[in-house]
A and B are shown apart, each in its own frame.
Chain A
Amino acid sequence: MRPPMRPPMRPTTAGPVPHPAPQFCPNSSAEQTWRYPHAGKRGVSGALAARAERQGRWRVAFAMAGFGLLYAALATRLVLLGVSGDGGAAQRSSPADLAAAARPDIVDRNGEILATDIKTASLYGEPRRIIDADEATELLSSVLPDIDTERVRRQLATDAGFVWLRREITRREQQAIHRLGIPGIGFIAENRRFYPGGETASHILGHVNVDNQGIAGIEKHIDTLGLADLHQAGFALERGLEPVRLSLDLRVQHALHDELNKALERYKAIAAIGVVMDVRTGEVVGMSSLPDYNPNNPVEALDRDRLNRATVGVFEMGSTFKTFTTAMALDSGQINLQDTFDATQPLRVASFTIDDFHGKRRWLSVPEIYIYSSNIGTARMAMAVGIEGQKAFLEKLGLLSTLRTELPETGAPIPPAKWSKLSSATVSFGHGISVSPLQTAAAAAALVNGGHFIPPTFLPRSQAKAAALARRVVRQETSRKMRDLMRLNVLKGTGRRAAVEGYRVGGKTGTAEKVVNGRYSSSKRFNTFLAAFPMDDPRYLVLVIIDEPKSEKKGQSATAGRNAAPTLAAVVRRIAPMLGVEPRLTDPDEPATTLAAMR
C-alpha cells in the first residue's frame, strides 16, 4: 500500500515529472525510510534529488573546513604557548628550593655593615616518614615549648612529603632537637637577614621576607637588579656576593636618627623626617622618617603610621616653598633683589584673603619678603611671573612629577587640580600642592649648588658622574642670590635658631597648617626647615620636618623657628665635623649685597 505521489524536493521549471520521486513511506510495520518506488528506473526528479543532495553534502564539506580552521587555531595557540614558555623547567620548585638564599651584604659609604646574612637552620618534617606523629610532636614541644602542638600534630599525621615546622631556629634548639633523634625530622641551612643597626636606617634598607627575598627598600632594589633571577636559577646560595655599597654615611644617619628621636620626644610630635643630601652629587647621606620600625622584626612595617614619610609621604611644605618662588622670580629676570612689593594690606584673590603671619604692613623688598616670610609679597612675586611660568619652573625642579630613586617606595606629588590665580598664589607659599620631602630636598639642592638639578640617589656617585646627569634649572647668578638670602634668613630672619657657629648655615622655615576635616587647622602644624651649609660654598642640604609639634611653653606658638630650626642646628652641629666641613670662627661672608637691599 502506497500513499499518493508527492511533488519533487524542489519546485522546478525543468518540465513534467514523468518518474516517481523518492518517497517518504510512513508505514506501520516498516521504519520510516526513504525508498525509491522503482529502483533502477529514475528520471529528472532523481537527478534533482541528487543535486540537492550534492549541494547538502557540499555544505557539510564546507562545515568540515570551518571546523578544521577553528581547531587549527586552537592547536596553533597551544604551540605558541609552548614555545613562549620556558618548558616549565625553571619554574618548577620544591619547598626546599625556596629556602632562604644568600644576599649580598649592604654597607655604607665607608664600608660599615648595614645588613648581612646569618646562617641559621630551619626545622622541617617529612610526615610520610614519621612513625608516630604524637610522639614526635611531644618531643618537639619539649625543646620548642611555644610550638602549636595541635597544628604540628595535624601536619605530621598527614601523608605529605614535606612540611616546614619552624623557620630559623637557634643553634642550641637545633642541637637539642638533633639529639632527640626523631625520624623524619630534619634541618635545612638557611640564611637569615640581620640588620646590626636596627631601626637606624630601616626605611632606606627595607627588609626581606622569610625566604630572604627583598620586599621593601634597597633590599627590593637589589632583587630587581637580578638577584632574584640568580636565586631562581639556584645560584647565590653561598656567600661571596659582592657587597652593595650605599651613599649613606652610617654616622650621619645615626646622628640624624638620634636628633629626630629627641625632637619627637621634646616637641611631642607625631612624626619627624630628616634628609641629608650632598648637593654636588645628589647622594643621600642620611635619611630618616620617624616613627620607623626594626627591620629585624618587620611586623610593624605595615603599620600605616610607620611608612617612609620621606619618600612616600607627600605634604604641603608651607613657607619652605617660598624659596622656590623667590628663585623663580629672580631667575625670570623680571624681578631684582631691590624690587619692592606692596604688603601694606592683605591680598584678595578670588574672594580669598591672603595675609601675613608676621605682618609688617609696608612695602617689602625681595629679601625682606623672604626673611619675614611674607605670604602677600611671595604671592605678588608669583603673580608677576604668571601661572605658566610657575608651572614650568616647578616642573623643571621635578616638583610636579613622581621622583624615582632606587627605593621602590615613592609618593606621587599632588599638584592643584586646576591652576587658577588663587592656586597659583597659594602654591607660591607652599599650600595647595603636596610633594615628598626628598623631592623638596632635591629641588632645593639645585638652587644652592650653582643651579643644577641632580636626581637624588642612594648609591655612591662621583662628581663627574653627577655632572653628566645634572640639568641646569636656574642661572648661576640666581643660585648665588638664593644662598645669600638663605644665609640672611638665619642671620636676621625666622631661622635664627638654626645657626651653628662656624658652619654658616642658611635656610628657610616653613610652618604649614594641616588640613583637618577639609579646613586648615591653626593648632596642628607641619613644620619644616630647609637648609644648606656651609653657605659660602654649599656642600650639604639638610631638611628637617616636625609633624604636629606642641609648644614647649604655654602661650608660645609652635612655629618652625622654635622646633624645626633648633633640631636642624643640632643635626648640623653633629654631622658637619664628620662630613669634613671646615669650621670658620669668623664669618667673612656677611651677605653685604643683600643687607644693602634692606631698610
Chain B
Amino acid sequence: MISRANRSPLAEWWWTVDRVLLGLVVLLLLTGLVLSFAASPPVAERIGLAPMHFVLRHAIYVPLAAAVMIGCSFLTHRQVRRTALIMLFAGLILMVLVLFIGAEIKGSRRWLSIAGFSLQPSEFVKPAFIIITAWLFAEGTQRPEVPGRLLAVVLLLIVTALLIAEPDLGQTILVFAVWGALFFLAGVSPIVVAGLAVASIAGLFMAYRMYPHVAVRIDRFLDPASGDTYQVDTALKSFQRGGWSGAGPGEGVMKRVLPDSHTDFVFAVVAEEFGIVLCLILVLIFAVIVMRGLMLAFRRKNTFERLAIAGLVTQIGVQAFINIGVNLQLLPAKGMTLPFISYGGSALLAAAVTVGFLLALSRQSADQRVTVMPRAAATGQT
C-alpha cells in the first residue's frame, strides 16, 4: 500500500484519483476480454480468419487501453485541454481524409488503414470534442467577450457534418446527445433547451426522411411485421435461450448466426452464455460508473470541470444505454459498440482516453480544496 505520507507523483496520483471509477473500468475491460473468447471466434470463423484472431487482438488492446487510461489520468487540467485540442484538430483532419482515402466497409467510410491497423478517427474525436465543448461553454458562461457558445455550436456543426458525410448516424446522434447534455448543464435557460430538444426531434425526422435505411430500421422497430428484423430477433432469442443463469460458457449457439456478435451484439452473447443475471450486473456497473461520474461532477464548483466530467460520463452512459437498448429491442437497431466490452481497437482506446480524461479532471486537487473553503466563509459573511 502506498503511504499517505509519500509525496511522489505516483502516490499523489493514487490518493487523488477516483479509485472506484478506475476499478470498475478495469473490471469492465477484463470482462470484455473474457467475453471476447465467447463472442468473437464464430465471427472470425465466419469471415475466414483464425478463430482466435479477434481474441488475440483484443488481448493486445486491453492492456494498451489500460495504459492509455492511466497515462491520461496523470495529466493536469491544462494538459488535458491541450491534449484534447490537439486530438480534436488531428482527428478532424483525419475525418476529412477518411472521406477520400478511407476504406469503405458496409457502405460507409469510417476507417483509415495505417500500417495494417485500421483507425477510426471519429472515435478519438469524441472525447476531445467533449473537453473542448465543455471548455467553450464554461468560457462562454464566465467571459461574455468570448463567444464560447457560438464556437461550441460551430464545432458541433463541423463534427456532425463530418459524421453524416461518412455516414455514421449512430455517432452523430451520440455526439449530438452529449452536446445537448453539455448545453443543458451549462446553465442555459430552459426555454432554449426546450427549443434545442424540438430542433433535435426535427433533425431525427429529417434523418428518417433522408436515409432510407434509417427509415426502414425505425419502421421495423415500430412494426416488427413490416420487414426483416433478423438481427434484433436473433439477439432477443439469445436472451430467452440464456435464461437467468445462461447456457454456460461456450454453449451459445445464437452467436453463430448473430451478425456483429463481437461488437454491437456482444451483450446478447453474454446473455445467452452467462445469463441475465450477469447482464443485470453489467447494467449495474455502467449505472454505477455514470452515477459516480455525475456525482464527481456534482461536487465540482469549477464550471469547466463540472461540464467536462459530466460530458465524458454522459458519453459513456448514453453509448452503453443505446447499445444495450438495441440488444434488448428497446430501441431501433443502430450500430454502436458497448464501451470497454465490445471488440474494436479504436473504440477501446478512445474509451480509455475518455475515462483517462475523466479521471484526470476529477482528481481531488489542492485547488479544489481551496475553492471549497471560502464558500462556508461566504455564507457566513453575507
Contact = CB atoms under 8 A, between A and B. Distances in A.
A210 to B, nearest CB: 19
Interface residues of B, number: 61
B374 A88 contact: no
Interface stretch (A30-38, A484-492, A520-528, A536-544): A30-38
B243 A75 contact: no
B374 A56 contact: no
Contacts of A42: 374, 377-378, 381-382
Interface in B352-382: 367, 370-371, 373-375, 377-379, 381-382
A82 interface: yes
B382 A43 contact: yes
A62 to B, nearest CB: 8
B378 A75 contact: no
Contacts of B240: 81, 84-85, 88, 91
B306 interface: yes
A78 B377 contact: no
A84 B243 CA distance: 9
B294 A92 contact: no
Given A61-B298, A88-B245, A71 B187 contact: no
B92 interface: no
Given A59-B184, A67-B294, A88-B246, A32 B77 contact: yes
Given A63-B294, A87-B243, A88-B246, A74 B143 contact: no
A40 B382 CA distance: 11
A32 B379 CA distance: 26
B241 A88 contact: yes
A88 B382 contact: no
A74 B381 contact: no
Given A40-B377, A88-B243, A75 B283 contact: yes
Nearest to B367: A33
A362 interface: no
A74 B325 contact: yes
Interface string B228-242: 000000001001111
A71 B373 contact: no
Interface stretch (B153-161, B285-293, B339-347): B285-293
Interface string A1-22: 0000011010100000000000
B251 interface: yes
A81 B239 contact: yes
B136 to A, nearest CB: 14
A85 B239 contact: yes
A81 B251 contact: no
Given A9-B142, A63-B294, A64-B294, A50 B378 contact: yes
Contact of A67 (B242, B290, B374): B290
Contacts of A77: 328, 330
Interface in A51-99: 52-53, 55-57, 59-61, 63-64, 67-68, 70-71, 73-75, 77-79, 81-82, 84-89, 91-92
A85 B325 contact: no
B70 interface: no
Nearest to B79: A31
Contact of A34 (B181, B242, B280, B302): B302
B244 interface: yes
A310 to B, nearest CB: 32
A185 B25 CA distance: 48
A341 interface: no
A24 B143 contact: yes
A41 interface: yes
B314 interface: yes
A46 interface: yes
Report which residue of A11, A55, A71 has the largest number of chain B beta carbons within 10 angstroms of its beta carbon.
A71
B81 to A, nearest CB: 8
A9 B381 CA distance: 20
A55 B187 contact: yes
Report which residue of A40, A87, A88, A92 has the largest number of chain B beta carbons within 10 angstroms of its beta carbon.
A88
A73 B321 CA distance: 10
B295 interface: yes
B184 A24 contact: no
B276 A82 contact: yes
Question: Which 3 pairs of residues, A with B, have the shortest CB-CB distance?
Answer: A88-B243, A87-B243, A82-B276
Given A63-B314, A85-B244, 8 more contacts: A42-B378, A43-B382, A59-B184, A73-B330, A74-B330, A77-B328, A85-B239, A88-B241
Interface of A: 6-7, 9, 11, 24, 31-36, 39-44, 46-47, 50, 52-53, 55-57, 59-61, 63-64, 67-68, 70-71, 73-75, 77-79, 81-82, 84-89, 91-92
20 contacts: A11-B144, A31-B77, A31-B78, A33-B302, A34-B371, A42-B377, A43-B382, A46-B374, A52-B141, A56-B185, A63-B184, A67-B287, A68-B287, A70-B317, A78-B276, A78-B279, A78-B328, A79-B280, A82-B239, A85-B243
